[in-house]
Amino acid sequence: MKDIIIIGGGVIGAFVARNLSRYKVDVLVLEKENDVGDATSMANSAIVHSGYDPVPGTKKAYFNVKGNAMFDDIARELDVSMQRIGSLTIALEDKQIELLKDLQKRGEQNGVPTKLLSAEEVKAIEPNISPEVKGALLCPTAGIVNPFTLTAHAFENACDNGVKLALGEEVVSIHKEDGVFVIKTKKNEYKAKMVINCAGVYSEEIAKMIEPIDWTIHPRKGQYYVLDHYAPGLVNHVLFPLPSEKGKGILVTLTTSGNYLVGPSSEFTDEKDDVATDTLTLSDVKRQATGMVPNIPFQEQIRTFAGLRATPSTHDFIIEPAKTDPYFINCAGIESPGLVSSPAIGEYVVEELVKSIMKLEPNPNYNPCIKPYVHMKDLSVEQRNEIIKKNPNYGDIICNCEKISRGEIIDACSRSVPCLTIKAVKKRTRAGFGKCQGGFCQPKVLLLLAKQNGTSPLEVQYDKEGSEILLKESK
């Protein structure tokens, strides 16, 4: 019997779990994939939105602005790369200047600092912007973050402080017996006094296991290009077009790794696992992006990908108890700006919703920080040599594209959140994220992963069940 079971191992589940770990409470997280942050929390724009865009008075506006203010401490405590590079919302026509002024007023209502820039001011800080630019709205508090380590390290911190995590556990039913929730997965049965639904695009299905609901989740797919970190200076800020009813539009941005991201598209899909890309949609992404930044070097593309957003029928986050049971809490419809909102949502769920019905005693051993990681390529030659003297594994480069050492991979695999797949190692360390996309380093990572987890290389999966890399021994 658990005190609380969280369903969903994305970024919302991570920060709910981390905030619960501040207390002496028995918490279990059930995640259907083989790693945390393996769906929406992984495949997104990785933006720390400033909060000028959400409609004032909505949950999106409240949690966006509050979450943004928390990110400096979050990045420091969880050893997550985050840079406040600011965002520019671009006007390419004279008539759009009035729309920028409307957005500035909305930002003022939400408490977000902004500044209107002239065309000349925009060109001075973004040399590659379209010559048609008429002006822009600068939001200096916006930034970029590593979404992979944000989720993984938040879970690591939660697990270090006592939370339990069960991967590969897809929930198939929930019912209540004698005041206790009985949660059945495809593998096991669990019991809990309280359930928190953080199941992303599947949160509607989980909620319906408890009661009829008056909201729905319709997945919206976004497709992206990823460009190599070939040179700095293509863009210096997160560049947005003016937002529409479809979302914030096609952005062009730097990432914390030095790559560039172009996208996303915005199209509804009926399939909640549809992350396929298509040439027609990506061509339209390219067309829209080059209208804002004409000389994007798409020849530097190293991959494309798609992610799903859990778009709610309510047009706002759904963060509330079930109507028939206060011990079942829904965190649903957390689309953009969900990533930046996640720390504030996690705090609210615990401090306002859980605490209102369950007594929580502080955990005297709670530590908000994880053990810092060694990032070899960020160190000086002297610092690297010192580390290699102590541990030669840090001198053995496994991924040449991203300069990731054997020691860094071993460290990632030795933490409280397991690395069970090639993709998990890739997200934690960036081994395989370079130009060759694992073409050279994947065999080395596979053998290292098998050794670390005490399994046969034949059992190592790339990601989901059935994604084994090797078929048989050939010699």
Positions annotated as catalytic residues are 49
Task: Report residue 419 as tokens.
Answer: 């690395």
* Measured distance CA(282)–CA(284) in Å, rounded: 5
DSSP bridge partners of 191: 182
Cα dihedral value 74, 76, 80, 86, nearest 10: 80
- In sign, the C-alpha dihedral spanning 64, 66, 68, 73 is negative
Question: Are 14 and 6 in contact, with CB atoms under 8 Å apart?
Answer: no
DSSP bridge partners of 118: 135
Side-chain half-sphere of 100: how many Cα atoms within 13 Å? Answer: 25
DSSP bridge partners of 254: 260
DSSP bridge partners of 320: 330
Estimate the crossing angle of helix 59-78 against helix 147-160, to 10 degrees. 70
Distances from the Cα of 185 to the Cα of 200, 207, 466, angstroms:
17, 15, 18
* Measured distance CA(350)–CA(65) in Å, rounded: 19
Q: Going by C-beta distance under 8 Å and a sequence separation of 6 or more, which residues neighbour residue 179?
A: 193
Output the CA angle 166-172-173, nearest 5 degrees.
110
Local structure of 184: helix, strand or coil: strand
Cβ neighbour number for residue 126 with a 10 Å cutoff: 23
Q: Going by C-beta distance under 8 Å and a sequence separation of 6 or more, which residues neighbour residue 398?
A: 404, 405, 406, 409, 431, 441, 444, 445, 448
Q: Going by C-beta distance under 8 Å and a sequence separation of 6 or more, which residues neighbour residue 216?
A: 204, 312, 313
Local structure of 77: helix, strand or coil: helix
Q: Within its chain, how far is the Cα of 466 from the centroid? A: 24
Strands (E), 228-372: 238-240, 251-254, 260-263, 267-268, 301-312, 318-322, 325-332
Element at 31 (helix H, strand E): strand 27-31
Q: Match 């859990």 to its residue by tokens.
A: 310
